[in-house]
Structures are given as structure tokens and as C-alpha cells.
Amino acid sequence: MKKSILNFKQMKSKGEKITWITAYSYPMAMAAEKAGIEMILVGDSGGMVELGYDTTNPVTMDEMIQLAKAARRGAPNTFIVGDMPQGSYEVSTEEAIRNAMRFVKEAGCDAIKLEGGVRVGDKVKAIVNAGIVVIGHLGLTPQSVASFGGYRVQGKTLESFEETVVDAVSLEKNGASLLLLEAMPSLSAEQISKRLKIPVLGIGAGELVDGQLIIMHDLTGFYPNFRPWFAKCYIPQVIDKYKDTLYPFKDNLKKFGIQLREDGLLSIVQLAIKEYIDEVKTINFPSEDYNYPIKIEELLSIKESKYWI
């Protein structure tokens, strides 16, 4: 059954981790749904991993709608989030509402995600007032990489920790239903999760938050140009674990494999997503190896913050 924002809030209060993955195509979204994922993000990362742009910035609203429609067709019973691409929400609240509404009406998305905190407060409020579920995104926000001066981890210094807390609180106040933190030391991310009532999920933000997001093409090793070190490719683990049992019909592939359509890559992808779900639920992912380290001086300095709980 499709989960709702209410279910995610209940999961946070029970301490049950929420599982989220990106998907931008019909077969991958289908594999994610069959594996039992709770949320799908049609991220603007699709501009890179599916469409081949060098960054996420060129992808357009029209392209995002096509990717989201495909994902919805593949996963009719999963909570799907459409990612507002750069340029689709910054100019005015009217344009932000119009584009958010396109994700809901044209692609059947359940929510939208946008980057930024205080600076996009009016847009968040306006979209929420239009009846659309909004998910915030803070930390390393790829659309603002140029203004950060490159890909920089946030929440490591007192200043960036406090800025992130202020942004997170303003997102919740303006009506965001969930928050994603990207690339942040786990203790900083935990502070934000403790402070907010809404679920706080992480990607590269450690295990102390309310759930995890992973990029499909990192989990499957399907993007050749780049993989952040906090992302885990699950394919070697799946091959190792299931090598003897993967194809129970392997002696009769022609008969059963073709019939069940379970003789190819997609069944391996599905198992890989299942492994990810199991590891998130049992708090085995992300392990220490996939966490951002924080120096003791940095930790001591952020612990002095008036926002430290």
C-alpha cells in the first residue's frame, strides 16, 4: 500500500527508518516498487545519470515531467517526489506553484522537493498553500554549487551548522513535510532531526537521521562518470550473496527465465534495492565507512552552539 506523509511522520515517532531511492524510468521505478521501497525521488540528478548532462543545472521542467511520468507508470503504488529543477521556482511564487502543480497533475507525483531554506521560504509557503506536499533539501545542494564555490560539506563549522539549523526550522515553519540533508557529518544531521517534528532523511548524512536516500545509479553502479564515496554500490554484495540461488531455474532458462522475465539485470537490481532497504531498516547502512568525518575541534566548536540539544 502506498505510504503517505502521515505514515512517514508516524515512522519517525516510532524510530522506524524510512527508505528512499531515486528512479527516472519505468523499469527502474518498477524494480524499486517490487523491492518494497517507500519513497521514490525523480531527482534532477536524472539530468546527469539518464540524460547525460555534465551537471544537474541544464535539465528542464519539461524533461523532468517526462522522467516523472515514466517513474509513476513503473511505480503506481509508491510515494513519488518530483524534484524542482533549477529555474523552476526561483523567479516568483506564481511560477513555483505552476511548476509544482505540473508534477502533481501531469506526472501524478505525491510531493515536490526544492533546494534552500530561508531564501525560498515564500515559495515553500505558497506551494504548501496550493495544497502540494513540499520536501526541503539542505546541506550540499547541487543547484547552488557555484555559490558555495564548489561541492562543500555543510554543518562542519559553527557558522554552517547554525545556518543549517535556522534554514531547517524555517522550512518546517513554512509547512515543509519532510527534509533531506545532503553531505553532512552525522552528529550535525542528528541535531537537526532531533529539533524538527517532521522526518529528516539523509544522503551522506549518517545513520542518526530518520531515513536514507540513495541514487539508483550509485546503488547499481550504472553511472560511469562519478560516484560520491558516501554512496554504496550493492551489486558486488548481491552477486556474492545470491550467486548460487539467483536463478533457481538456470538449468531451464529458456522455459522459466523467459516466461517470468526474471533472467536478467532487473532481477539483480531488485535484489540490490532489497539489500539497501534491509540495511537501512536494520541501521547497517550507512556504516562508519560511508560517514563524513568531523575533526574533534570542529565538533567541540559546534557543540558550543546555542542550537546544540
Asked if 268 and 243 count as a contact pair (C-beta separation under 8 A), the reply is no
Q: Is 298 assigned a catalytic role?
A: no
- Catalytic residue (one of 50, 182, 190, 207): 182
User: What is the residue whose three cell numbers read 502506498?
Assistant: 2
Nearest distance, CB of residue 115 and ligand KIV, angstroms: 7
Decide if residue 136 touches ligand KIV (CB under 6 A).
Answer: no
> Which H or E element spans position 179?
strand 178-182
Smallest separation, CB 56 to ligand KIV (Å): 6
> 28 with 100: CB under 8 angstroms?
no
Q: Is 206 in the site for ligand KIV (CB under 6 A)?
A: no
Which of 19, 22, 86, 270 is in the footprint of ligand KIV by CB under 6 A?
22
178 binds ligand KIV (CB under 6 A): no
182 binding ligand KIV? (CB under 6 A):
yes
Residues 217-249 as b or e (16 or more Cβ within 10 Å = b): bbbbebbeeebeebbbbbbeebeeeeeeeebee
* DSSP conformation letters of 44-104: TTHHHHTT--SSSTT--HHHHHHHHHHHHHH-TTSEEEEEPPTTSSSS-HHHHHHHHHHHH
The nearest distance, CB 48 to ligand KIV, in angstroms, is 8
Q: How many CA atoms lie within 13 A of 263 on its CB side?
A: 13
136: β partners: 114, 179
Residues in CB range of 23: below 8 A, 6 or more apart: 29, 31, 32, 40, 41, 42, 71, 74, 75, 216
Binding flag, residue 215, ligand KIV (CB under 6 A): yes
Phi, psi of 180 (to 5 degrees): -110, 130
Closest distance to ligand KIV from the beta carbon of 202 (Å): 10
Give whichever of 44 and 190 is closer to ligand KIV, judged by the CB atom. Answer: 44
81 binds ligand KIV (CB under 6 A): no
Residue among 84 and 294 whose Cβ is closer to ligand KIV: 84
CB of 1 to ligand KIV, least distance (A): 25
- Taking the least distance from each CB to ligand KIV, the nearer of 63 and 83 is 83
The verdict on 44 binding ligand KIV (CB under 6 A) reads yes
Nearer to ligand KIV, 41 or 267 (CB): 41
What residue type is assigned to position 195 of the chain?
Answer: R
Nearer to ligand KIV, 70 or 247 (CB): 70
45: contact with ligand KIV by CB under 6 A = yes
| Contacting range for ligand KIV; rule: CB under 6 A; set: 39-47, 148-156, 192-200, 244-252 | 39-47
SS3 157: coil
Strand partners, 138: 181
Q: Is 203 in the site for ligand KIV (CB under 6 A)?
A: yes
Residue 23 vs 298, nearer CB to ligand KIV: 23
Answer yes or no whether residue 139 interacts with ligand KIV by CB under 6 A: no
Residue 41 within binding range of ligand KIV, rule CB under 6 A: yes
Active-site positions read 182
- Contact positions vs ligand KIV (CB under 6 A): 22, 41, 43-45, 56, 83, 180, 182, 203, 213, 215
